[in-house]
Amino acid sequence: MKLNKSSRSWCKPHNPLIKISTCRLPNFPIQILLLGLCHLLVPASCSRKPPPLPILPLPTALQLQWQLRDMSLFFHFGPNTFTDSEWGSGHAHPSVFNPTKLNPSQWIRVAKNCGFSTVILTVKHHDGFCLWPSDYTDYSLRSSNWKNGSGDVVAELSSAAKDAGVGFGIYLSPWDRHETSFGDTLRYNEFYLAQMTELLTRYGEITDVFLDGAKGEGEKDMNYLYTSWNSLIHQLQPGVSIFSDLGPETRWVGNEYGIAGFTCWSLFNKTGFEIGQIDLQYNSEGDPLGPDWIPATCDVSIRPGWFWHASESPMSARSLLEIYYKSVGRNCKLLLNVPPNSSGLISDEDIQVLQEFAELRRSIFSHNLAINAVINASSIRGGIQDTHFSPYNILKEGIYTYWAPEENQTKWILYINLEELVSFNVLQLQEPIHMGQRVIEFHLETLSQDGVWMRVVNGTTIGYQRLLLFPKLKSQYLKLVVDKSRADPLISYLGIYMDSVTVLRDTPDKKSGASFNGSQVLQTTTHNSSLSAAM
């Protein structure tokens, strides 16, 4: 009998029908060795079993496209860059804006070379100054001395992004401290939509619109007509993803540290909330019972401020890597602000950090240590002959192929034989989110040298991507167990990696209120000598 790869046993020879007794693994569970036999007893079917029913809610095509671009750069740039401010008053003279070496193509090269697939520019911040020649205000580049009033930063950046194949998005602040109509609901909403129309019709394809709900205390009350805004934005740019506290495409994670909750659902219930008035913890964690699909964006600045200040320095690449684990590694998108300086360039020290960050990610995640593993499963949808849902799908990159268990099972387990002792400390998992977000709880186990399964780490949600870091261990045999799921769990990717640079913490993270993995690191077969505090 000739068996395909998915029927290989955990020991040589690979045919489970031949000399099973020759397997020499002391105390190794015999049921694993018999998995292939059990599946072979299932009669072949003349037709393929269809995929399981998706579980609602589901992401839209726009949201799927947005999720696949897992990191973006944010560019805060404007008069504040030159006045050493964060929130401008709206009264700085337009002549203060004078970037003598402006080069948006450099910004885009930095983004692309460091692994960021989209960029977002603050085309107008709270001060109301517009980085394009708007027809609806006297407070724009048209009134500045830069390029004799003929400059257009939006045009230069959008063109550079298009040429490089990088997505381009805009941040148009609803709060405007310069515009006199602010506070008059009808007049200001007309003004805002007029400017939004300029931006969405003059500069080609826009991938993202970022709607900030910020407004200072004591400022005029203002009723933003978000429903009208969203409708017009989607009409003018059908492929755009809109960010706000509550979506519609993507929500704010609830802090500006770039950190999502240890449990983070893309599912959400926006009923009862308003932009600017949200539950921060709810935004951070989402809702397993939520009827809406609104994944989270984690925004953070590489520097202490959002705009460039000569007195400030960027954080380290290792700090960015920790943020990566807590954002991209928790089913979110990372939006990293890297503010151009007063010359109009990304500063050399920021570029160095971004390059080091990219190299750290490459050194850890470029090779899946499980890529040549032997994989078995507690069950396979359609039986072992149907490779459409084979457990080997978890070694294929992408979310559209996946392992699916048989229906009505009481256990969901993937057995991984790395075929040699391997040192590792990172687990990566992905779900096929186009089928809905399913997994509620899971854990990873390893087989110790004395034949005892030991739990390494607990996890909760997976979603598009989950990364869990734990103390370094060495093992050959692993077991991924899904403990609880909204429906039959589906796993599209599993990766095992070694991170030799990130320092685990066993004390609460001051920003997130949780330890590195939410106090989920458990006993392992081998331990690091200690877990130190944060970097």
Residue 504 CB neighbour total at 10 angstroms: 21
- Per-residue pLDDT at 46: 56
- Percent of the chain whose predicted confidence (pLDDT) is above 90: 80
Question: Is the pLDDT assigned to residue 35 strictly greater than 90?
Answer: no
Q: Tell me what the pLDDT averaged over the chain comes to.
A: 88
Question: pLDDT for 257-312, tens place per residue?
Answer: 999 999 999 999 999 999 888 999 999 999 999 999 999 999 999 999 999 999 99
Cα–Cα distance for residue pair 249/66, rounded to 1 Å? 9
- Rounded alpha-carbon distances, angstroms, from residue 92 to 79, 87, 135, 342: 7, 11, 20, 15
The residue whose two tokens read 């598009």 is 464
pLDDT band at 3 (very low <50, low <70, confident <90, very high): very low
Residue 491 CB neighbour total at 10 angstroms: 25
- Per-residue pLDDT at 123: 98
Question: Is the pLDDT assigned to residue 513 strictly greater than 70?
Answer: no
CB-count exposure of residue 53 (10 Å: 0-12, 13-18, 19+): exposed
Task: Give mean pLDDT, residues 36-46.
Answer: 47
Question: pLDDT for 423-482, tens place per residue?
Answer: 999 999 999 999 999 999 999 999 988 899 999 999 999 999 999 999 999 999 999 999
pLDDT band at 70 (very low <50, low <70, confident <90, very high): confident
Cα–Cα distance for residue pair 374/33, rounded to 1 Å? 12
Question: Is the pLDDT assigned to residue 13 strictly greater than 80?
Answer: no
- Per-residue pLDDT at 506: 58
Question: Is the pLDDT assigned to residue 58 strictly greater than 70?
Answer: yes
Cα–Cα distance for residue pair 129/188, rounded to 1 Å? 15
pLDDT band at 504 (very low <50, low <70, confident <90, very high): confident
Strands 250-252 and 241-244: parallel
CATH topology of domain 374-497: Jelly Rolls (2.60.120)
Cα–Cα distance for residue pair 312/305, rounded to 1 Å? 8
Please work out, in degrees rounded to the nearest 5, the angle formed at the alpha carbon of residue 136 by the alpha carbons of 134 and 138: 75
Question: Is the pLDDT assigned to residue 251 strictly greater than 70?
Answer: yes
Mean pLDDT is lowest, of 315-324, 455-464, 505-514, for: 505-514
pLDDT band at 525 (very low <50, low <70, confident <90, very high): very low
- Rounded alpha-carbon distances, angstroms, from residue 212 to 47, 240, 472: 52, 16, 41
Q: Tell me the pTM.
A: 0.88
Cα–Cα distance for residue pair 318/259, rounded to 1 Å? 15
Task: Give mean pLDDT, residues 17-24.
Answer: 31
The candidate with the shortest Cα–Cα distance to 324, out of 468, 496, 480, is 468
- Percent of the chain whose predicted confidence (pLDDT) is above 70: 86
Structurally, at CATH architecture level, domain 61-366 sits in: Alpha-Beta Barrel (3.20)
Query: What single-letter amino acid sits at 341?
Result: N
Task: Give mean pLDDT, residues 79-87.
Answer: 97
Cα–Cα distance for residue pair 31/38, rounded to 1 Å? 10
- Per-residue pLDDT at 2: 35
Query: Residue 344: left if φ>0, alpha if ψ -120 to 50, beta else—which one?
Result: left
Cα–Cα distance for residue pair 354/338, rounded to 1 Å? 9
Domain segments of the chain as ranges: 61-366, 374-497
- The answer to whether 520 and 458 have CB atoms below 8 angstroms apart is yes
Mean pLDDT is lowest, of 26-35, 118-127, 211-220, 390-399, for: 26-35
Please work out, in degrees rounded to the nearest 5, the angle formed at the alpha carbon of residue 243 by the alpha carbons of 135 and 201: 30
506 or 194, which is more confident: 194
pLDDT band at 214 (very low <50, low <70, confident <90, very high): confident
Interacting residues of 376 by C-beta distance below 8 A, sequence separation 6+: 10, 32, 35, 36, 391, 414, 415, 417
